[in-house]
Amino acid sequence: METLIIIIFILGYLAITLEHNLKLDKLIPALGMMAILWAIVAFGIDTFANWFDSASHALINGFSNFTSAEKHHLLEETLLHHLGKTAEILFFLLGAMTIVEIIDYFDGFATFKNYIKTKNKKKLLWIFASLAFILSAIIDNLTATIVLITILQKIINEKETRLWFAGLIIIAANAGGAWSPIGDVTTTMLWIGKKVTSAKLIEYLIIPSLLCVVVPVLIASFMKPFKGNLTVLEEESTAPKSQYGPTMLYLGLSAIIFVPIFKTITHLPPYVGMMLSLAVVGIFAEIYSRSQFSLSHAIDDEGDDSHGFHSPVHKSLSRIEMPSVLFFFGILMAVAALESLGMLFIGAEHLKTIIPNTDVVIMLLGLGSAVVDNVPLVAASMGMFQQPIDDHIWHFIAYSAGTGGSMLIIGSAAGVVAMGMEKINFFWYFKNIAWLAAIGFVVGALAFMFLRQF
């Protein structure tokens, strides 16, 4: 049974990795793999010798001597436990995604164009890299990449130049997401899974993540693509379409930043604070939407009800990427099946024997995240290592998984979305950007190893 489970997981993992070749959305193999794995666990529950208790982070003694009824009862409790932990992450992400969509509903992100006044390519590079690093820590690296590339397309007409900027934005966005508990799905998983606290994550990763961006951007700023000025810079109005855009931008970002503060004060799970933030943002969105409708309805009667007849919250919920949410659900629950059977725990013990140096293991995890999705890698590491909260191993995992994906265009959500928006060729990125990302990754990793001694 154990062999069959491992084979199915590997096949499912390969299908996820090769989604572009198979032309099959990765949520399909993730959900299918999850359901099949738990079905096999249920059918073969009487044949398994080990069971891992996630609450105590240890194998249950004498599990093989349990009766069939006791094993099935334990299976149901374990499944419910993992469903609850996974739901915490998903509802957190749903709340954050909705707030971001509400900001976009009011065209709030257009406000950032007001900060971009220069035609100098080198200055633009530093502006975009800085915005990517900061924004990704607040609204997550995927959304930050979408926002910045959208702005990039409006101010840079040269395709080749935009590709270079997009490549550096990917590096900056992934690095920015690594040091924030809400900046990347993997760091959110570690934070909600009580592996790291927001204060320590920021304390130990802000400098390595910053170096991971600064070094590649510094090198790139001396390269030919970033010399001189832009030939064309569109002189269009930078005013947001909605008069409430800037207000909703600052309100939405403040609401997301408030979530870690709420958790620290109340000690409640992060999704509770995110729901509160969503409620507050939603109230203002509804009020502003009514005001906007009243003004537009008086002067426009062409039947466009995009802002008038629809609640901005409902509209924003309809634009959420549910495939991504379902993928996270499938992969996290699939990894939970392996964890429950003690496979990850036992595998970690063997890995420690083969490679005693944990730093090497985590660096390899970072390299692996460039090839395959970092969500299952981090989910697996959470089951493999049993160190207490805020142990340096968790911070290093957050850094490696978050920034390692920049080394290939398909290695991160930010890279994949940029690839789609700008039609970036895999080999072009590998030739021109991968080495910059690798240098940044190594410099940041060395900085982390040095700083953790203090």
With pLDDT > 70 as the criterion, what percentage of the chain qualifies?
Answer: 92
SS3 breakdown of the chain: % helix, strand, coil, rounded to 5? 75, 0, 25
Least trusted range by pLDDT, from 1-10, 138-147, 208-217, 442-451 = 138-147
Residue 282 pLDDT level (bands cut at 50, 70, 90): very high
Q: Is 51 exposed, middle or buried (0-12, 13-18, 19+ CB in 10 A)?
A: buried
Average per-residue pLDDT in the chain?
85
- Is the per-residue pLDDT at 232 higher than 60? no
H or E segment to which residue 56 belongs: none
Q: What is the pLDDT of residue 299?
A: 44
- Is the per-residue pLDDT at 180 higher than 80? yes
- Is the per-residue pLDDT at 306 higher than 50? no
Q: What is the pLDDT of residue 57?
A: 65
Residue 294 pLDDT level (bands cut at 50, 70, 90): low
Average pLDDT in the 142-152 region? 84
Q: What is the pLDDT of residue 302?
A: 47
Residue 222 pLDDT level (bands cut at 50, 70, 90): very high
Listed ranges 17-31, 227-241, 250-264, 409-423; the one with the highest mean pLDDT: 250-264
Q: What is the pLDDT of residue 408?
A: 86
Give 86-133 pLDDT, tens digit per residue.
898 889 888 888 988 898 888 888 887 777 777 889 999 999 999 999
Q: What is the pLDDT of residue 372?
A: 67
Give 403-418 pLDDT, tens digit per residue.
998 998 877 878 877 8
- Is the per-residue pLDDT at 444 higher than 90? yes
Residue 32 pLDDT level (bands cut at 50, 70, 90): very high
Q: What is the pLDDT of residue 241?
A: 64
* 441 three-class SS: helix
Q: Nearest to residue 288, comparing CAs of 252, 238, 319?
A: 252
Please tell me the distance from the alpha carbon of residue 124 to that of residue 107, in angstroms, as a whole number.
22
Contact, 407 vs 367, CB < 8 A?
A: yes
Break the chain into its structural domains and give their ranges. Answer: 80-451
Two structure tokens written together for 140: 């997550």
With pLDDT > 90 as the criterion, what percentage of the chain qualifies?
Answer: 34
- Is the per-residue pLDDT at 60 higher than 90? no
Residue 303 pLDDT level (bands cut at 50, 70, 90): very low
Q: What is the pLDDT of residue 308?
A: 44
Give 372-394 pLDDT, tens digit per residue.
667 777 877 887 788 899 999 99
CB count in 10 Å sphere of residue 294: 10
Torsion sign (Cα): 425, 430, 432, 437: positive
Average pLDDT in the 339-348 region? 78
Least trusted range by pLDDT, from 65-74, 192-201, 273-282, 323-332 = 323-332
Residue 168 pLDDT level (bands cut at 50, 70, 90): very high
